Structure 1
């Protein structure tokens, strides 16, 4: 199937499920409090089929992009008739619950979707849980321009004290093209600086140029390669090169290149200078003399030993209780990141280019849909649902949070805000969302064009 068609179908299904669950929350709460629901539709547009039960028309509509609930008297611009089963006739606390129920269902969906994912395969990378001690800084990268050096320990990032690598990566992800404050411990000296991550394609994480100290473990060893001839085995752990500690896979590659002859001075296939590679195998330290060979690697020349690296990420099958616990923890952490991003956008400490619109969401969803299992699609749907739930709670008219804000104001004033004022505020809110959506879609298209070129 055409990849673009897969993206369109996948995002339609995912957004359809998320919006349907959102509206189901409003529907259930409205029914509990006796609000007359005139229409509960799966999809938008022309009615295709359905049935009527009580006062409600349950229908399937033409466009399967979610659904909607129409409650009697819910439009704040309409003049209420005063009937007891109308939305505006209900006490404010009941209207608050009805408004809140939609976002709540999205949050519960996000939590629920991650549980079967984690019961099947919960990814655990021990590196992300470690303190943010820098092993490597890429030349000319944002990290290098910020003056960060190997062995620096980042003790504060964006207000987060003693961050792990996961916290650091999350903060850089929401600070594209905006300075991110860092505090560094450099051998007992406290250094303050700012790091500005830059965009690195439509689907890649922002370019930062930092690498953590991590285990450098060998995976596949090519037959008849210098590594095999030296006795290197899959699973061996690299400790040192010529007596210098190996900090991470990239550092090992750099150490090998640094002691070899210039790339342009020899022909491909020529043996280089022998290095002494210290590895750990079954708890014992071994010293192996390895002679790299000049080879072609991704269209560039490089001294290679013929062995690949493997990740220490493990995939666990968690029992239900642990899967639920991790889902709650991860959704809480993602929520803090989303709210932090909203705060940075408001204070202009983050760029609106950080946001992805329908095009970007479709690309991510389509990529997940093409995976061999449904687990990636569940994970993506969970994150989108959480985003929708939290963003709907923002105090912007037209959103559920705008209605909740009006209910809060009216509770303090002890009378309803005039229909004229509500109408003007809702019009302004609609215009704001329309402009925001236009800018986000424009960013999506620009990113797609840049990546394609």
Structure 2
């Protein structure tokens, strides 16, 4: 089923993009020889009056082949040749593909927002004595905006908080928008530590590392045996992971995610079950589920600690079979499940309920406004990430066809809303990506047209196409490299 979704989505996205080129070519009376979806050998084709519409075996791209576009000499119907047209018309034909892709994303977001609402960050937990608690923020609040910016992502909220200035939030509570002003507070460094073969029990404040009171020296002891001194004793083990989060402004909340409540029957659990406790760990929120998942991935005899100032939280890894206390029909019962199955529960989309619902706009005008602003944010975020395109490729932040199939596969497990959202994001991203001023991409062709419009001198079409061909070869190499990275991520390499 995932393969079918993948082919249908990719085909639809590419079709919209190529349709833009095709329609504008027809508008300017350029003869279109082929309208193709996919590359490689032909699966089937339909011959039109002027154009052959074909579907090829590899559905990972597409093209519109126009008369004279490849720089060949055109004798008959020369007036219908691509290079016979003025530079501004060629620019619009080339620009139409990315433009159609981007507009398709905007159009698709509207019914998504209209039918399902829009996902905005919610408040999971409010820490005691924190700026958020003092200002009246509550768990379950939906954060609508921060300092006038719609909060489409938690990064927007964090960015405003990190400035250290008062933040003006608008939260949705019981269907009403409530303004809340919060002054962030500087919190101390946080040290996240994972010890293997750990011995001892952390008690009280962490005061030393191998007898040294400077805790930051832990970074020099990764994969070495260390002794952590606490007020109530010592803990020894092999330091496998150490992460230091510097001092930062915070308001004292955790963002909402999944609730420990089952939406459907799964394994030993029943719909409506609420996880209350797992091997001594109280489960109240999404953050507790995150800690639980980390424990399930660590294994036995592993200790993880989070140290922030005098606050020390610690948990041991889990392996084998664990006892889970659930609330079912008002009664507490214990069930047993192996750690791998419990890990699968937390990894499977659609099994657990959300801590906060999606925000539903108050009226159609707000629906249109929010869907447009959401697309603007996706457009801006995509363009920003492409500023360092090749660095993002090297760090694996850009996915290829294999990675895209994985994204679509995960979305298909979460329902139609997730699938349509992924499609909208993909088509917007495709439009932006094609605007990169690189040979063989639409952006590269646009650059040549712009240069011709400014200089009023046309580059030899054959030379231009040689440049695009070389660019195409390099892009194919890049495509193979990204595919290799995708496969590596898939295999955990």
Both proteins in one fold, TM over 0.5? yes
Corresponding residue number in structure 1 for 2:358: 314
Residues 1:430 and 2:424 aligned together: no
Pairing partner for 2:6 from 11, 14, 20: 11
Q: Mapping of 1:289-368 within 5 angstroms?
A: 299=339, 311-316=355-360, 321-345=365-389, 348=391, 351-368=394-411
1:43/1:63 contact within 8 Å kept? yes
Q: Whole-Å Cα distance in 2 between the matches of residues 92 and 191 of structure 1?
A: 59
Pairing partner for 2:111 from 111, 116, 119: 116
Q: Mapping of 1:27-426 within 5 angstroms?
A: 27-41=22-36, 45-46=41-42, 48-53=44-49, 56-63=50-57, 65=59, 67-75=62-70, 77-81=71-75, 83-127=78-122, 167=153, 169=155, 183=162, 185=164, 212-213=253-254, 250=288, 299=339, 311-316=355-360, 321-345=365-389, 348=391, 351-371=394-414, 373-419=415-461, 421-426=463-468
Shift of 1:183: 5.0
Q: Whole-Å Cα distance in 1 between the matches of residues 259 and 126 of structure 2?
A: 21
SS of the residue 1:63 aligns to:
strand
After superposition, what is the alpha-carbon deviation per residue over 1:152-189, rounded to whole angstroms, capped at 9, x for unaligned? 9xxxxxxx9998875554799xxxxxxx9x95539777
RMSD: 5.1
SS of the residue 2:33 aligns to:
strand
Q: Whole-Å Cα distance in 1 between the matches of residues 442 and 110 of structure 2?
A: 27
Corresponding residue number in structure 2 for 1:230: none
Shift of 1:329: 1.0
Shift of 1:190: 11
CA separation of 1:417/1:259 partners in 2, compared to 1, >3 Å: closer, same or farther?
closer
Shift of 1:444: 0.6
Taking structure 1 as the reference length, what is the TM-score of the superposition? 0.60
Q: Whole-Å Cα distance in 1 between the matches of residues 460 and 470 of structure 2?
A: 16
Q: Whole-Å Cα distance in 2 between the matches of residues 430 and 9 of structure 1?
A: 28
SS of the residue 1:354 aligns to:
coil
2:21/2:64 contact within 8 Å kept? yes
SS of the residue 1:316 aligns to:
coil
SS of the residue 1:50 aligns to:
strand
Q: Whole-Å Cα distance in 1 between the matches of residues 334 and 57 of structure 2?
A: 58
1:360/1:444 contact within 8 Å kept? yes
1:395/1:405 contact within 8 Å kept? yes
1:103/1:390 contact within 8 Å kept? yes
Q: Whole-Å Cα distance in 1 between the matches of residues 398 and 259 of structure 2?
A: 38
CA separation of 1:415/1:168 partners in 2, compared to 1, >3 Å: closer, same or farther?
same
Shift of 1:340: 0.9
Structure 1: runs of 5+ lacking an equivalent: 1-5, 137-149, 153-159, 173-179, 194-206, 222-233, 236-245, 272-291, 301-307
SS of the residue 1:29 aligns to:
helix
Corresponding residue number in structure 2 for 1:145: none
Q: Whole-Å Cα distance in 2 between the matches of residues 25 and 67 of structure 1?
A: 12
Corresponding residue number in structure 2 for 1:441: 483
Shift of 1:42: 5.2
2:189/2:244 contact within 8 Å kept? no
Q: Whole-Å Cα distance in 1 between the matches of residues 25 and 52 of structure 2?
A: 15
Shift of 1:380: 1.1
Q: Whole-Å Cα distance in 2 between the matches of residues 450 and 215 of structure 1?
A: 28
Structure 2: runs of 5+ lacking an equivalent: 133-145, 165-182, 191-242, 263-272, 275-283, 293-310, 326-331, 341-351
Shift of 1:325: 2.5
CA separation of 1:438/1:58 partners in 2, compared to 1, >3 Å: closer, same or farther?
closer
CA separation of 1:310/1:11 partners in 2, compared to 1, >3 Å: closer, same or farther?
closer
1:125/1:312 contact within 8 Å kept? no
CA separation of 1:370/1:311 partners in 2, compared to 1, >3 Å: closer, same or farther?
closer
Shift of 1:104: 1.0
SS of the residue 2:51 aligns to:
strand
Q: How many residues get paired?
A: 344
SS of the residue 2:46 aligns to:
strand
Corresponding residue number in structure 2 for 1:287: none
